Protein backbone atom coordinates (compact mmCIF):
# COMPACT_ATOMS: atom_id res chain seq x y z
CA UNK A 1 0.00 0.00 0.00
CA UNK A 2 1.33 3.40 -1.03
CA UNK A 3 1.26 5.39 2.21
CA UNK A 4 0.44 8.62 0.34
CA UNK A 5 -2.90 7.04 -0.58
CA UNK A 6 -3.65 6.23 3.02
CA UNK A 7 -5.62 8.68 5.11
CA UNK A 8 -4.62 9.10 8.73
CA UNK A 9 -8.29 8.98 9.43
CA UNK A 10 -11.50 8.46 7.51
CA UNK A 11 -14.46 10.18 9.12
CA UNK A 12 -17.87 8.74 8.26
CA UNK A 13 -20.75 11.17 8.74
CA UNK A 14 -20.89 14.89 8.06
CA UNK A 15 -23.04 16.06 10.96
CA UNK A 16 -21.97 18.07 13.98
CA UNK A 17 -19.60 15.33 15.18
CA UNK A 18 -17.97 14.34 11.89
CA UNK A 19 -17.27 17.89 10.73
CA UNK A 20 -15.70 18.69 14.10
CA UNK A 21 -13.46 15.59 13.97
CA UNK A 22 -12.36 16.52 10.44
CA UNK A 23 -11.56 20.08 11.52
CA UNK A 24 -9.47 18.97 14.50
CA UNK A 25 -7.66 16.31 12.42
CA UNK A 26 -6.86 18.89 9.74
CA UNK A 27 -5.63 21.30 12.42
CA UNK A 28 -3.38 18.50 13.69
CA UNK A 29 -1.90 18.29 10.18
CA UNK A 30 -3.32 14.82 9.65
CA UNK A 31 -4.65 13.65 6.31
CA UNK A 32 -8.37 13.29 6.70
CA UNK A 33 -11.13 12.08 4.41
CA UNK A 34 -14.65 13.11 5.40
CA UNK A 35 -17.57 11.22 3.86
CA UNK A 36 -20.55 13.49 4.43
CA UNK A 37 -23.33 11.04 3.60
CA UNK A 38 -26.00 11.47 0.94
CA UNK A 39 -29.45 13.11 0.85
CA UNK A 40 -31.11 10.13 2.47
CA UNK A 41 -28.70 9.83 5.43
CA UNK A 42 -28.78 13.59 5.89
CA UNK A 43 -32.59 13.60 5.97
CA UNK A 44 -32.46 11.04 8.77
CA UNK A 45 -29.81 12.89 10.77
CA UNK A 46 -30.42 14.95 13.91
CA UNK A 47 -28.23 17.83 12.72
CA UNK A 48 -30.84 18.59 10.10
CA UNK A 49 -33.48 19.23 12.75
CA UNK A 50 -31.83 21.64 15.13
CA UNK A 51 -33.09 24.99 13.99
CA UNK A 52 -32.14 27.07 16.99
CA UNK A 53 -29.94 26.22 19.98
CA UNK A 54 -30.15 27.81 23.42
CA UNK A 55 -27.68 25.81 25.47
CA UNK A 56 -24.36 26.92 24.01
CA UNK A 57 -23.04 30.25 25.24
CA UNK A 58 -22.51 32.66 22.37
CA UNK A 59 -24.54 30.57 19.92
CA UNK A 60 -28.08 31.44 21.01
CA UNK A 61 -30.54 30.97 18.18
CA UNK A 62 -27.95 29.40 15.86
CA UNK A 63 -28.94 26.15 14.11
CA UNK A 64 -26.70 23.16 13.42
CA UNK A 65 -27.05 23.41 9.64
CA UNK A 66 -25.40 26.83 9.74
CA UNK A 67 -22.59 25.52 11.94
CA UNK A 68 -21.93 22.59 9.60
CA UNK A 69 -21.98 24.86 6.55
CA UNK A 70 -19.46 27.22 8.17
CA UNK A 71 -17.20 24.34 9.22
CA UNK A 72 -17.21 22.80 5.74
CA UNK A 73 -16.36 26.14 4.24
CA UNK A 74 -13.44 26.46 6.70
CA UNK A 75 -12.24 22.94 5.76
CA UNK A 76 -11.88 24.01 2.12
CA UNK A 77 -8.83 25.97 3.26
CA UNK A 78 -6.92 22.75 3.95
CA UNK A 79 -7.02 21.60 0.32
CA UNK A 80 -6.40 17.94 -0.46
CA UNK A 81 -5.10 17.27 3.08
CA UNK A 82 -8.73 17.38 4.18
CA UNK A 83 -10.88 15.95 1.42
CA UNK A 84 -14.63 16.11 1.75
CA UNK A 85 -16.87 13.90 -0.39
CA UNK A 86 -20.67 14.30 -0.55
CA UNK A 87 -21.22 10.59 -0.53
CA UNK A 88 -22.07 7.85 1.91
CA UNK A 89 -19.98 4.91 3.03
CA UNK A 90 -21.49 1.54 2.21
CA UNK A 91 -18.88 -0.77 3.74
CA UNK A 92 -16.09 -0.58 6.30
CA UNK A 93 -13.74 -3.47 6.89
CA UNK A 94 -10.42 -4.05 8.57
CA UNK A 95 -7.42 -5.22 6.58
CA UNK A 96 -4.41 -7.18 7.79
CA UNK A 97 -1.25 -5.22 8.56
CA UNK A 98 2.32 -6.56 8.56
CA UNK A 99 3.12 -4.71 11.75
CA UNK A 100 0.25 -4.10 14.17
CA UNK A 101 1.91 -1.00 15.61
CA UNK A 102 2.85 0.62 12.29
CA UNK A 103 0.84 3.62 11.10
CA UNK A 104 -0.51 2.26 7.85
CA UNK A 105 -3.81 1.27 6.26
CA UNK A 106 -5.84 -0.82 8.67
CA UNK A 107 -9.29 -0.16 7.20
CA UNK A 108 -10.95 -0.04 3.81
CA UNK A 109 -13.99 2.15 3.42
CA UNK A 110 -16.09 1.70 0.31
CA UNK A 111 -18.31 4.58 -0.75
CA UNK A 112 -21.53 4.45 -2.75
CA UNK A 113 -19.63 5.14 -5.99
CA UNK A 114 -17.68 1.93 -5.35
CA UNK A 115 -14.44 3.79 -4.56
CA UNK A 116 -12.31 2.17 -1.87
CA UNK A 117 -10.51 4.46 0.59
CA UNK A 118 -7.72 3.31 2.90
CA UNK A 119 -7.38 4.61 6.43
CA UNK A 120 -5.05 4.01 9.36
CA UNK A 121 -8.05 4.82 11.56
CA UNK A 122 -11.76 5.43 11.13
CA UNK A 123 -14.14 7.63 13.09
CA UNK A 124 -17.79 6.64 13.00
CA UNK A 125 -20.07 9.69 13.27
CA UNK A 126 -23.25 8.35 11.71
CA UNK A 127 -25.59 9.45 14.52
CA UNK A 128 -29.03 8.18 15.48
CA UNK A 129 -32.65 9.24 15.04
CA UNK A 130 -35.43 9.57 17.58
CA UNK A 131 -38.33 7.16 17.16
CA UNK A 132 -41.44 9.17 16.27
CA UNK A 133 -44.95 8.48 17.57
CA UNK A 134 -47.49 7.26 15.03
CA UNK A 135 -50.77 9.10 14.91
CA UNK A 136 -53.29 7.33 12.68
CA UNK A 137 -50.45 5.23 11.17
CA UNK A 138 -48.39 8.28 10.26
CA UNK A 139 -45.57 10.23 11.89
CA UNK A 140 -46.37 13.35 9.86
CA UNK A 141 -48.89 14.87 12.33
CA UNK A 142 -46.17 15.11 14.97
CA UNK A 143 -43.34 16.10 12.66
CA UNK A 144 -45.26 19.20 11.56
CA UNK A 145 -44.81 20.50 15.11
CA UNK A 146 -41.33 19.20 15.74
CA UNK A 147 -38.50 21.56 16.49
CA UNK A 148 -40.42 24.81 16.58
CA UNK A 149 -40.18 24.58 20.37
CA UNK A 150 -43.59 22.83 20.39
CA UNK A 151 -42.70 19.14 20.16
CA UNK A 152 -39.18 18.49 21.43
CA UNK A 153 -36.76 15.61 21.76
CA UNK A 154 -34.05 16.83 24.08
CA UNK A 155 -34.54 17.64 27.75
CA UNK A 156 -31.21 19.40 28.14
CA UNK A 157 -31.84 21.56 25.07
CA UNK A 158 -35.46 22.55 25.54
CA UNK A 159 -36.49 21.58 29.10
CA UNK A 160 -36.20 25.20 30.25
CA UNK A 161 -39.10 26.12 27.95
CA UNK A 162 -41.54 24.08 30.08
CA UNK A 163 -41.53 26.42 33.07
CA UNK A 164 -45.11 27.42 33.89
CA UNK A 165 -46.60 25.39 31.02
CA UNK A 166 -48.58 22.17 30.74
CA UNK A 167 -46.27 19.46 29.40
CA UNK A 168 -47.12 16.23 27.56
CA UNK A 169 -44.48 13.53 27.12
CA UNK A 170 -45.24 10.89 24.50
CA UNK A 171 -43.81 7.52 25.48
CA UNK A 172 -44.57 4.44 27.54
CA UNK A 173 -41.26 3.42 29.14
CA UNK A 174 -38.97 4.73 31.87
CA UNK A 175 -37.45 7.27 29.45
CA UNK A 176 -40.79 9.07 29.24
CA UNK A 177 -41.32 8.61 32.98
CA UNK A 178 -37.99 10.17 33.90
CA UNK A 179 -38.63 13.04 31.48
CA UNK A 180 -41.86 13.92 33.30
CA UNK A 181 -40.27 13.45 36.74
CA UNK A 182 -37.23 15.60 35.99
CA UNK A 183 -39.28 18.35 34.34
CA UNK A 184 -41.62 18.45 37.32
CA UNK A 185 -38.80 18.48 39.87
CA UNK A 186 -36.83 21.10 37.98
CA UNK A 187 -39.55 23.42 36.68
CA UNK A 188 -42.61 22.52 38.78
CA UNK A 189 -44.90 22.26 35.76
CA UNK A 190 -47.94 19.98 35.35
CA UNK A 191 -46.96 16.79 33.59
CA UNK A 192 -48.93 14.42 31.37
CA UNK A 193 -47.67 11.19 29.85
CA UNK A 194 -49.37 10.05 26.65
CA UNK A 195 -49.05 6.28 26.16
CA UNK A 196 -50.58 6.59 22.68
CA UNK A 197 -52.29 3.22 23.01
CA UNK A 198 -49.15 1.33 24.12
CA UNK A 199 -48.92 -0.75 27.28
CA UNK A 200 -47.01 1.10 30.04
CA UNK A 201 -43.58 -0.29 30.92
CA UNK A 202 -42.65 1.81 33.94
CA UNK A 203 -40.43 0.45 36.70
CA UNK A 204 -41.68 0.56 40.30
CA UNK A 205 -39.36 3.46 41.13
CA UNK A 206 -40.71 5.55 38.23
CA UNK A 207 -44.33 4.62 39.01
CA UNK A 208 -43.90 5.74 42.62
CA UNK A 209 -42.52 9.13 41.57
CA UNK A 210 -45.16 9.64 38.87
CA UNK A 211 -47.79 9.11 41.54
CA UNK A 212 -46.04 11.39 44.02
CA UNK A 213 -45.92 14.25 41.49
CA UNK A 214 -49.49 13.69 40.23
CA UNK A 215 -48.30 13.01 36.72
CA UNK A 216 -51.41 12.18 34.68
CA UNK A 217 -50.96 9.11 32.49
CA UNK A 218 -53.30 8.96 29.46
CA UNK A 219 -53.60 5.50 27.88
CA UNK A 220 -55.65 6.46 24.79
CA UNK A 221 -54.16 6.75 21.31
CA UNK A 222 -53.47 10.27 20.10
CA UNK A 223 -56.02 11.50 17.59
CA UNK A 224 -54.74 14.94 16.62
CA UNK A 225 -52.29 17.64 17.58
CA UNK A 226 -53.80 21.12 17.85
CA UNK A 227 -51.95 24.35 17.21
CA UNK A 228 -50.27 26.26 14.44
CA UNK A 229 -47.46 24.01 13.22
CA UNK A 230 -45.38 26.65 11.53
CA UNK A 231 -45.62 29.07 14.44
CA UNK A 232 -42.85 29.02 16.99
CA UNK A 233 -44.21 27.70 20.31
CA UNK A 234 -47.90 27.51 19.44
CA UNK A 235 -49.02 24.10 20.66
CA UNK A 236 -52.63 24.26 21.87
CA UNK A 237 -53.30 20.73 23.05
CA UNK A 238 -53.28 17.08 22.08
CA UNK A 239 -56.57 15.38 21.33
CA UNK A 240 -57.01 11.73 22.31
CA UNK A 241 -59.17 9.00 20.79
CA UNK A 242 -61.87 9.47 23.46
CA UNK A 243 -62.35 13.08 22.32
CA UNK A 244 -60.67 14.65 25.37
CA UNK A 245 -57.85 17.15 24.89
CA UNK A 246 -54.69 17.16 27.00
CA UNK A 247 -53.94 20.82 27.81
CA UNK A 248 -50.31 20.73 26.75
CA UNK A 249 -48.55 23.85 25.52
CA UNK A 250 -45.33 21.98 24.93
CA UNK A 251 -44.54 18.30 24.33
CA UNK A 252 -41.61 15.90 24.42
CA UNK A 253 -41.16 12.64 22.56
CA UNK A 254 -39.39 9.87 24.45
CA UNK A 255 -39.62 6.63 22.51
CA UNK A 256 -35.96 5.72 22.16
CA UNK A 257 -33.71 5.93 19.13
CA UNK A 258 -32.64 4.14 15.97
CA UNK A 259 -28.85 4.01 16.11
CA UNK A 260 -26.94 3.98 12.83
CA UNK A 261 -24.44 1.42 14.09
CA UNK A 262 -24.10 -0.93 11.11
CA UNK A 263 -20.38 -0.22 10.55
CA UNK A 264 -19.55 -0.54 14.23
CA UNK A 265 -21.43 -3.83 14.35
CA UNK A 266 -19.74 -5.20 11.23
CA UNK A 267 -16.30 -4.26 12.61
CA UNK A 268 -17.08 -6.10 15.85
CA UNK A 269 -17.21 -3.04 18.14
CA UNK A 270 -19.04 -3.56 21.41
CA UNK A 271 -22.53 -2.02 21.48
CA UNK A 272 -24.56 -1.30 24.61
CA UNK A 273 -28.11 -2.55 25.18
CA UNK A 274 -29.54 0.37 23.20
CA UNK A 275 -27.23 -0.32 20.24
CA UNK A 276 -24.90 2.63 20.95
CA UNK A 277 -21.17 2.19 20.34
CA UNK A 278 -19.25 1.74 23.58
CA UNK A 279 -16.28 4.14 23.72
CA UNK A 280 -13.53 5.07 26.16
CA UNK A 281 -12.52 8.57 27.28
CA UNK A 282 -10.70 9.13 23.96
CA UNK A 283 -13.74 8.15 21.90
CA UNK A 284 -12.16 4.85 20.90
CA UNK A 285 -14.39 1.80 20.51
CA UNK A 286 -13.41 -1.65 21.71
CA UNK A 287 -11.68 -2.20 18.34
CA UNK A 288 -8.23 -0.65 18.00
CA UNK A 289 -8.20 2.56 15.88
CA UNK A 290 -11.98 2.54 15.38
CA UNK A 291 -13.30 5.67 17.04
CA UNK A 292 -16.88 6.88 17.38
CA UNK A 293 -18.10 10.37 18.19
CA UNK A 294 -21.50 12.01 18.71
CA UNK A 295 -24.97 10.55 18.97
CA UNK A 296 -23.93 7.07 17.76
CA UNK A 297 -22.00 6.53 21.01
CA UNK A 298 -22.98 5.33 24.46
CA UNK A 299 -20.75 8.00 25.97
CA UNK A 300 -21.77 11.47 27.11
CA UNK A 301 -25.12 13.28 26.77
CA UNK A 302 -26.15 13.57 23.13
CA UNK A 303 -25.50 17.23 22.64
CA UNK A 304 -23.61 19.46 20.25
CA UNK A 305 -20.97 20.52 22.78
CA UNK A 306 -20.26 16.96 23.94
CA UNK A 307 -19.86 15.87 20.31
CA UNK A 308 -17.33 18.69 19.89
CA UNK A 309 -15.42 17.72 23.02
CA UNK A 310 -15.16 14.08 21.97
CA UNK A 311 -14.31 15.08 18.40
CA UNK A 312 -11.19 16.78 19.77
CA UNK A 313 -10.37 13.85 22.04
CA UNK A 314 -10.66 11.35 19.18
CA UNK A 315 -8.69 13.42 16.65
CA UNK A 316 -5.95 14.11 19.20
CA UNK A 317 -5.76 10.42 20.14
CA UNK A 318 -5.40 9.50 16.47
CA UNK A 319 -2.65 12.08 16.00
CA UNK A 320 -0.86 10.80 19.12
CA UNK A 321 -1.02 7.23 17.85
CA UNK A 322 0.46 8.28 14.52
CA UNK A 323 3.26 10.23 16.21
CA UNK A 324 4.05 7.31 18.54
CA UNK A 325 4.21 4.91 15.59
CA UNK A 326 6.65 7.23 13.84
CA UNK A 327 8.70 7.63 17.00
CA UNK A 328 8.89 3.84 17.35
CA UNK A 329 9.85 3.44 13.68
CA UNK A 330 12.59 6.08 14.08
CA UNK A 331 13.98 4.40 17.22
CA UNK A 332 13.98 1.02 15.51
CA UNK A 333 15.77 2.36 12.45
CA UNK A 334 18.39 4.18 14.51
CA UNK A 335 18.95 1.19 16.77
CA UNK A 336 19.58 -0.95 13.70
CA UNK A 337 22.06 1.52 12.21
CA UNK A 338 23.85 2.21 15.51
Ligand X SMILES: Cc1cc2nc3c(=O)[nH]c(=O)nc-3n(C[C@H](O)[C@H](O)[C@H](O)COP(=O)(O)OP(=O)(O)OC[C@H]3O[C@@H](n4cnc5c(N)ncnc54)[C@H](O)[C@@H]3O)c2cc1C
Three-state DSSP state, 130:
strand
DSSP H/E element including 311: helix 304-337
* Among 10, 82, 122, 154, contact with ligand X (rule: CB under 6 A): 154
125 lines the binding site for ligand X (CB under 6 A):
yes
User: Could you tell me the smallest distance in angstroms from the CB atom of residue 155 to ligand X?
Assistant: 10
Which range of residues in 23-31, 39-47, 184-192, 196-204 is near ligand X by CB under 6 A? 39-47
Q: Judged by CB under 6 A, which of 294, 310, 317, 322 binds ligand X? A: 294
* Residue 18 is a binding residue for ligand X (CB under 6 A): yes
Q: Is 30 a residue that touches ligand X (CB under 6 A)? A: no
* 307 is a site residue for ligand X (CB under 6 A): yes
Q: CB under 6 A: which stretch of 12-20, 224-232, 269-277, 283-291 binds ligand X? A: 12-20
Task: Return the number of the residue (69 or 323) whose C-beta is nearest ligand X.
Answer: 69
In angstroms, the CA 17 to CA 123 distance is: 10
To ligand X, the closest distance from the beta carbon of 98 in angstroms equals 29
Out of 9, 28, 64, 132, the only residue in the binding site for ligand X (CB under 6 A) is 64
Q: What string of DSSP letters covers 246-277? A: E--SEEEE-S-EEE--HHHHHHT--B-TTSPB
CA nearest 13: which of 277, 273, 325?
277
Note whether 127 binds ligand X by CB under 6 A.
yes
32 part of the interface to ligand X, by CB under 6 A: no
Using rule CB under 6 A, residue 82 touches ligand X:
no
Q: Is 150 in the site for ligand X (CB under 6 A)?
A: no
Give the count of beta carbons closer than 10 Å to the beta carbon of residue 239. 17
CA dist., res. 59 & res. 63, Å (int): 9
Write out the binding residues for ligand X, residues 228-267 only, by CB under 6 A.
260
DSSP character at residue 118: E
Q: Which of 132, 261, 303, 319 binds ligand X (CB under 6 A)?
A: 303
Sign of CA dihedral 51, 56, 58, 64: negative
Cβ proximity of 81 and 31 under 8 Å: yes
If one asks whether residue 314 binds ligand X (CB under 6 A), the answer comes out as no
Cα-flanking dihedrals φ and ψ of residue 227, to 5°?
155, -165
Under rule CB under 6 A, residue 6 binds ligand X: no
Q: Please choose, out of 15-23, 96-104, 203-211, 215-223, the segment that lies near ligand X by the rule CB under 6 A.
A: 15-23
Regarding 132 and contact with ligand X (CB under 6 A), the answer is no
Give Cα 176 distance to the centre of its chain.
19
235 has which bridge partners? 227
User: Minimum distance from CB of 333 to ligand X (Å)?
Assistant: 38
Query: Which strands make up the sheet holding 151-152, listed edge to edge?
Result: 151-152, 250-253, 167-170, 191-194, 216-218
45 binds ligand X (CB under 6 A): yes
Which member of 14, 119, 159, 237 binds ligand X (CB under 6 A)?
14
| 47 interacts with ligand X by CB under 6 A | yes
What helix, strand, coil percent values describe the chain, rounded to 5? 35, 25, 40
| Angstrom distance (rounded) from CA 132 to CA 256 | 9
The residues binding ligand X (CB under 6 A) are 12-18, 35, 37, 41-42, 45-47, 49-50, 53-55, 64, 88-89, 125-127, 130, 147, 153-154, 157, 260, 294-295, 302-305, 307
Amino acid sequence: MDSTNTWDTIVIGGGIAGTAVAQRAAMNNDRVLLLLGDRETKRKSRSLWVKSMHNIPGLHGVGTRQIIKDTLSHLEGYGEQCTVLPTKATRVQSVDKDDDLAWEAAFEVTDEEGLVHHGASVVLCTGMMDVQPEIGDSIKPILRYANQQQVNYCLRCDGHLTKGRGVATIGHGDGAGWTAILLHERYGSTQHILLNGEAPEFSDEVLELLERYNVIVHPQPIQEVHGKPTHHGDLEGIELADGSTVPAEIAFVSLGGIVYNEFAASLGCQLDDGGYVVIDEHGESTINNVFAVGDVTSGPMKQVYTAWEYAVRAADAINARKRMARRRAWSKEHKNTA
